[in-house]
Amino acid sequence: MEAAGVSVIIPAYRAEATIGRAVRSLLAQTWSAWEAIIVADDGADYRAALAAEGVSDARLRFVGTGRTGAGAPAARNAGLRVATLPLVAPLDADDLWAPDRLAVLAPLALERGAAADNVAVVRERDGVALSTLFPPAEGVSELTAERFLTTSVPMFFVLRRDLCPDWPEDVNFCDDVVFNVLVLDRLGAIPLARRALYEYRQREGSITFAADAGARAELCYRHVLDRLAGDGFGLRNESLRRRFAAAVETKRVLNAAYEAAHSAGHCANFQEFVALQGR
pLDDT at 136 over 50: yes
Is the pLDDT at 1 greater than 50? The verdict is no
Please choose, from the candidates 178, 61, 156, 21, the residue with its C-alpha nearest in 3D space to the C-alpha of residue 102: 156
**Mean pLDDT value of segment 46-75:** 97
> What kind of fold does domain 6-207 have according to CATH?
Spore Coat Polysaccharide Biosynthesis Protein SpsA; Chain A (3.90.550)
Asked whether residue 188 carries a pLDDT value surpassing 90, the answer given is: yes
Residue 4 clears pLDDT 90, i.e. is over it = no
Mean pLDDT of 269-275: 78
Residue 87 above 70 pLDDT?
yes
Sorting pLDDT into bands at 50, 70 and 90, what band is 207?
low
Mean of pLDDT values over 24-50: 98
Mean pLDDT across 50-72? 97
Mean pLDDT of 228-256: 96
The pLDDT assigned to 271 comes to 79
For residue 268, what pLDDT band results from cuts at 50, 70 and 90?
Answer: confident
**Residue 46 above 80 pLDDT?**
yes
pLDDT, position 17: 96
Q: Please write the tens of the pLDDT for every residue from 101-123.
A: 999 999 999 999 999 999 999 99
Instruction: Supply the mean pLDDT for the chain.
Output: 94
